[in-house]
Amino acid sequence: MYVHNLKEVKSASDLTFHFSEDQTNPTPRDSYNAQFTRLHEKLKSRECSKIILSRIKRVEHSIQPNELFQKLNETYTNTFNYVISNAEIGTWIGATPERLIHVNRDKIETMSLAGTKTEFDNWTKKEYDEQAFVTHQIHKELEKYCHNIQLDGPQTITAGPVQHLQTTIKAQLINPHDWSSLTQGLHPTPAVCGTPTDAARAFILKNEKHDRQFYTGFIGFVQKDTKSLFVNLRCLQFYEKYANLYVGGGIIIDSTQESEWIETERKANTLSALLKS
């Protein structure tokens, strides 16, 4: 079941939610610290310049999924908000700010989204470097399938309680039928995996202690002439008494353990604040 706008649903009775058996555990701080240390050693070896480290945060709640989804739509008007529920996967809810790709015939638009801070902080070289990694990787992939590539940014955009650096990227497909190959080439972006992609992915699969499931996958619409897909960030799996929130951050050589943990806390607050209110 997919609902993009709660106004399409006449009442809560129109929705049937499924709660699967929870086989995941939240990430303890000491486990996160140990993973960060191994990751940082990998970066020192220069095999990777950036790796995404994610974790699971568990938050108790006393609301219903449709209530949370309505709050998302009221609070976050510039994100892609969704709820999916079936007997096989349970209930997933998200509000993602990152477009993977939008296709309109031979015209495409994507974005480079990286770097996180609050409105009270200043951007540092670390965030600009992180953003540059993502932009460069996306540009390289676009060159395989597109021409007339145009970059606009980076600019500061707001996504709930945090801000990100975003570069908007537009291009024209040489062959409109290549949109699917381009999409597969763009995913996973450095913003959800790392740089270079293969080495970062291998490290994540070996060292992260949880299955990301749908977190950092992509979701959206595919129609004949238009396709609009988003990276599944700021998402959670909803259970009757609590929710498992999936959050992560891009680690580079200048990253510190404490600052990265704080960044994931800020990202988690996008959804956890609504679960508690």
User: What residues contact 91, with CB distance under 8 A and at least 6 apart?
Assistant: 17, 18, 19, 20, 65, 83, 84, 85, 237, 238
Q: Tokens 């996504």 appear where?
A: 159
Mean pLDDT calculated for residue range 26-52? 93
pLDDT reported for residue 11: 41
Q: What band does 189 get if pLDDT is binned at 50, 70 and 90?
A: confident
Secondary structure (3-state) at 1: coil
pLDDT greater than 70 at residue 155: yes
Q: What is the DSSP letter of 78?
A: S
CA-CA distance, 276 to 126, in Å (whole number)?
32
Q: How far apart are CA 134 and CA 111, in angstroms?
A: 9
Q: Are 275 and 69 in contact (CB under 8 A)?
A: no
Tokens of 69: 């989804």
Smallest CA-to-CA distance from 270 within 246, 241, 252 is with 246
More confident residue, 172 or 8: 172
Given a cut of 50, whether residue 14 has pLDDT beyond it is: yes
Mean pLDDT across the chain: 89
Residue position matching structure tokens 């699917």: 180
pLDDT tens digits for range 91-128: 999 999 889 999 999 999 999 987 788 888 899 888 89
Taking 50 as the threshold, does the pLDDT of residue 2 lie above it?
no
Q: Would the pLDDT of 71 be above 70?
A: yes
> What mean pLDDT comes out for the span 173-185?
95
Distance CA 168, CA 206 (A): 33
Please state the rounded mean pLDDT for residues 44-64: 93
Sequence-distant (6+) residues with CB within 8 A of 159 are 76, 78, 79, 97, 234, 270
Q: Token pair of 43, please?
A: 């970066």
For 223-267, what is each residue's pLDDT tens digit? 888 999 999 999 999 999 999 999 999 898 889 999 999 999 999
**Alpha-carbon gap, residue 52 to 103, rounded angstroms:** 27
Residues 10-38, mean pLDDT to the nearest whole number: 83
Strand bridging mode 146-159 / 107-117: unpaired
pLDDT band (50, 70, 90) for residue 161: confident
Report percent pLDDT > 70 for the chain: 95
Cα distances (Å, whole numbers) of residue 259 to 42, 155, 272: 19, 22, 19
What percent of the chain is predicted at pLDDT more than 90? 64
The arithmetic mean of pLDDT across residues 7-16, rounded, is 52
User: What pLDDT is stored for residue 277 in this prediction?
Assistant: 64
How far apart are the C-alpha atoms of 216 and 230, rounded to whole Å?
9
What is the predicted pLDDT for the residue at 6?
40
- 3 pLDDT above the threshold of 80: no
pLDDT digits (tens, 9 = 90+) for 203-230: 999 999 899 999 999 999 898 889 999 9
pLDDT level of residue 80 (50, 70, 90 thresholds) = very high
Structure tokens at 62: 């006393």
